[in-house]
């Protein structure tokens, strides 16, 4: 069985959905598991609705646009005589309204109940469209299958329960395809959970791992994995092949092509991951697998909205292991990821994504022990497999606050 994942851009309008259908139909007869994201930027729209609602501001216009966007895709895909899909869509909008107006004991829980509608709506539309196009496929609710703990907004997968559910719901020798939502699952109490933004890639990897799939294909609007984001860098090159290790490291440093959790389950089972362009489906793309590289073109990863925080000791003591362990204990407790760090005699500096509420609590927790300084609005640039000439070109004219070089990687934190 093969797994295919289609992201928001690949189902962003009626023509994109038709193109997606053509891709599925060109894959031959054997059964596929197809994972779909929310259409276009609708997850962002739902986040905006939620933010306005939680700030007691008027969100109706954003919600109306959200509904119009999906309705107009349906109008372009279906005849108005196809009542069922319009009824289903209407029902989903009613459910969304209810979700928005329920009382919740926790805002992260509310987030997951509301945000999941992006995927619930997109799969409902795509399923009906595939059906209309003569492609038999069973619509699975990922919440019956992807079982997580109750960490809202970042559900941790319960692998045993999930594997059991996958195997009881999916027949690998089935004559029809399966279609399901990316990004969402449920805990043991039946609450909807999300897996973290852009989590549909991870969903595809979870299914592939549980099914011992032959391969996973992620369809994107780029020709494969490039050595830099083309919005940031002019002369990008595509990697034809990448090892699991290289791909995982790229996601760690912030390359946004694939969700960081995607690689591991695939690498463990040696399931190849193909990243291909839905605009040019017959082109090669990038194959990520169990391979060794001799040399690899440098990869450039630009991570904006970074913040540099320095913890300085006050009492002429030094930054020693016990001080570091106090700091790291809190980073772990608040689940804050450190993107780069450096230690000196009296100060320890970390680069993290720009502070949110959690970071502010962490800083407050450490104020009694350290003087704390921070700079905001920074950019972290990582060059994997760097060449010195490239690094000095990138560095030219930049104000560098922190810089590090290892044998393979170069990183600098600059002002913007």
Contact positions vs Mg ion (CB under 5 A) = 7-8, 37
Can you say whether the dihedral through the CA atoms of 240, 245, 249, 251 is positive or negative?
Answer: positive
Q: CA–CA separation, 232 vs 254, rounded Å? A: 13
Tokens (6 digits) for 200: 């549909």
Residue bearing tokens 């039946």: 190
Among 2, 3, 8, 340, binds ligand ASP (CB under 6 A): 8
The closest of 112, 120, 125 to 190, measured between CA atoms, is 112
Which residue number, 50 or 300, has a Cβ lying nearer to ligand ASP?
50
Which residue number, 66 or 370, has a Cβ lying nearer to Mg ion?
66
- What is the number of other CB atoms lying within 10 angstroms of the CB of residue 85? 19
Which listed option, ligand ASP, Mg ion, none, makes contact with residue 185 (CB within 5 to 8 Å by class)? none
Binding positions for ligand ASP, 178-207, rule CB under 6 A: 182-183, 197-200
Which residue number, 8 or 254, has a Cβ lying nearer to Mg ion?
8
37 binds ligand ASP per the rule CB under 6 A: yes
Residue bearing tokens 């994504």: 353
CB of 8 to Mg ion, least distance (A): 4
Secondary structure element (H or E) that encloses residue 186, with its range: strand 184-186
Which residue number, 184 or 301, has a Cβ lying nearer to ligand ASP?
184
CB of 49 to ligand ASP, least distance (A): 14
Q: CA–CA separation, 86 vs 104, rounded Å? A: 29
DSSP 156: P
CB of 349 to ligand ASP, least distance (A): 30
DSSP 155: P
CB of 299 to ligand ASP, least distance (A): 22
* Distance separating the N- and C-terminal Cα atoms of the chain: 47
- What is the number of other CB atoms lying within 10 angstroms of the CB of residue 175? 9
CB of 379 to ligand ASP, least distance (A): 22
Which listed option, ligand ASP, Mg ion, none, makes contact with residue 183 (CB within 5 to 8 Å by class)? ligand ASP
**HSE, side-chain direction, 13 A CA sphere, residue 226:** 18
Which residue number, 153 or 358, has a Cβ lying nearer to Mg ion?
153
Which residue number, 7 or 224, has a Cβ lying nearer to ligand ASP?
7
Which listed option, ligand ASP, Mg ion, none, makes contact with residue 246 (CB within 5 to 8 Å by class)? none
Which residue number, 222 or 346, has a Cβ lying nearer to ligand ASP?
222
CB of 57 to Mg ion, least distance (A): 26
Give the CA-trace dihedral at 405, 406, 409, 411, to 10 degrees.
-30
Which listed option, Mg ion, ligand ASP, none, makes contact with residue 310 (CB within 5 to 8 Å by class)? none
In degrees and rounded to multiples of 5, residue 48 shows phi and psi of -65, -45
Decide: 177 and 131 in contact? Cβ < 8 Å.
Answer: no
260 binds ligand ASP per the rule CB under 6 A: no
Binding positions for ligand ASP, 114-133, rule CB under 6 A: 118
CB of 10 to ligand ASP, least distance (A): 10
CB of 75 to Mg ion, least distance (A): 24
Contacts of 37 by beta carbon, 8 Å cutoff, 6+ apart? 5, 6, 7, 8, 11, 43, 118, 119, 122, 182, 183, 200
113 binds ligand ASP per the rule CB under 6 A: no
Binding site for ligand ASP (CB under 6 A): 7-8, 37-38, 43, 118, 182-183, 197-200
């Amino acid at each position: 069985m093969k797994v295919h994942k289609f992201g928001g851009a690949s189902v962003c309008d009626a023509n994109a959905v038709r193109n997606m259908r053509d891709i599925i139909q060109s894959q031959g007869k054997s059964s596929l598991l197809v994972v779909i994201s929310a259409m276009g930027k609708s997850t962002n729209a739902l986040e905006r609705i939620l933010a306005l609602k939680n700030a007691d501001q008027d969100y109706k216009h954003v919600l109306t646009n959200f509904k119009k966007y999906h309705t107009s895709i349906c109008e372009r895909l279906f005849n108005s005589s196809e009542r069922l899909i319009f009824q289903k869509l209407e029902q989903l909008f009613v459910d969304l309204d209810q979700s928005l107006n329920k009382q919740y004991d926790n805002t992260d829980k509310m987030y997951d109940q509301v945000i999941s509608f992006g995927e619930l709506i997109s799969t409902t539309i795509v399923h009906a469209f595939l059906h209309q196009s003569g492609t038999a496929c069973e619509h699975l609710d990922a919440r019956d299958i992807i079982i997580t703990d109750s960490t809202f907004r970042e559900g941790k997968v319960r692998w045993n329960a999930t594997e059991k559910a996958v195997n009881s719901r999916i027949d690998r020798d089935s004559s029809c395809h399966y279609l399901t939502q990316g990004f969402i699952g449920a805990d043991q109490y039946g609450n909807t959970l999300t897996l973290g933004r852009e989590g549909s890639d991870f969903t595809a990897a979870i299914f592939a791992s549980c099914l011992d799939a032959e391969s996973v294909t992620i369809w994107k609007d780029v020709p494969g994995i490039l050595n830099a984001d083309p919005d940031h860098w002019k002369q990008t090159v595509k990697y034809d092949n990448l090892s699991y290790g290289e791909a995982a490291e790229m996601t760690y440093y912030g390359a946004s092509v694939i969700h960081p959790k995607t690689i591991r389950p695939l690498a463990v089972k040696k399931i190849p991951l193909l990243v291909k362009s839905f605009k040019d489906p017959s082109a090669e793309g990038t194959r990520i697998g169990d391979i060794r590289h001799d040399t690899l073109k440098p990869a450039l990863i630009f991570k904006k909205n970074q913040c540099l925080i320095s913890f300085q000791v006050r009492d002429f003591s030094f930054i020693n292991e016990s001080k570091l362990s106090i700091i790291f204990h809190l980073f772990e407790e608040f689940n804050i990821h450190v993107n780069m760090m450096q230690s000196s005699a009296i100060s320890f500096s970390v680069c993290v994504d720009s502070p949110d509420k959690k970071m502010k609590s962490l800083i407050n927790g450490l104020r009694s022990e350290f003087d704390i300084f921070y700079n905001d609005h920074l950019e972290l640039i990582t060059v994997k497999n760097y060449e010195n000439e490239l690094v000095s070109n990138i560095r030219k004219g930049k104000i560098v606050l922190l810089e590090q070089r290892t044998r393979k990687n170069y990183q600098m934190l600059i002002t913007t």
